[in-house]
Amino acid sequence: MRHFFIGLTAFSFAVGCEKIQGLLTEQAVSSPQQDGLRPDQSGPNWRAFCPKAKASGSRTSLTFSIEYTSGESSKDSHSSRLSAQFDGRILTLYGPYGTCTRGRCKHTEVAFVPTEAEITELRDQFERHDLWMGLKEIADNNFSEPGFGSTNTTTMDLKLTDEQRTASSAVAYGSAHGRKTVKTGSQAARQKAEAARLVLMGMRTTALRCFPDFRTQ
């Protein structure tokens, strides 16, 4: 009887430890990471390899804000937004990540401090894509007339500053398809928006060194 009691006690202790360990593991998985990220980025599938960005230290003269949105109105209606803000030190990006279904993706925000080499590359991209040359062209994308089926709209807004120069762009254009097809916006507006999108995608690629899960599949 004594041996049975000792064996039962040992078994109960082992089961209790296993339950406690399981609870601790569950809490570690379900608790948000303490890295300044939003709660939907918690868990074992979100990795952050860079320290939390702090608004301290030296700043560059380059600052900017860029936002690019695209949307489709159809039976699989969806929209997506890419944006970037840089205050001279911290680069904050917003965009889709994870698995997208029929164009619908989760969106989230990340922030990190870019290296000098990455800032130099950004400057080169702004020059290469002529984003210092501003353009403002907002087309009327109200496709409410009968006969229009699916519609696509794109908007882009950009502001750049660097020492003695500034630039700003704002464009909007779209298209509608159905019994008739209509396109709004000039080729110049489409090229300017596409240039901004390419720069944003480049920044997303740069962010992968800190947040390798900040990508779509």
Q: What is the pLDDT of residues 63-103, one digit of tens each?
A: 999 999 998 876 667 788 999 999 999 999 999 998 888 77
Residue 7, in any domain of the structure: no
Residue 142 lies in a domain: yes
Q: Does residue 22 lie within any of the structural domains?
A: no
Q: How many domains does the chain have?
A: 1
Q: How far apart are CA 155 and CA 198, in angstroms?
A: 14
* Domain carrying residue 195: 46-207
CB burial readout 129-153, b (16+ within 10 A) else e: bebeeebebebebebeeeebeebbb
> Considering the entire predicted model, what is its pTM?
0.77
Find all residues with CB under 8 Å of 212, minimum gap 6, and list them: 47, 49
Query: How do residues 154-191 score in pLDDT, each as one tens digit?
Result: 999 999 999 999 999 999 999 888 777 888 999 999 99
Q: Is the pLDDT of residue 9 over 90?
A: no
Task: Identify the CATH number of the domain in which residue 122 sits.
Answer: 3.30.1560
Is 20 part of any domain? Answer: no
Predicted confidence (pLDDT) per residue in 119-148, tens digit = 999 999 999 999 999 999 999 877 766 666
Dihedral (CA of 110, 115, 116, 121) sign: negative
Q: Give the per-residue pLDDT at 147.
A: 62
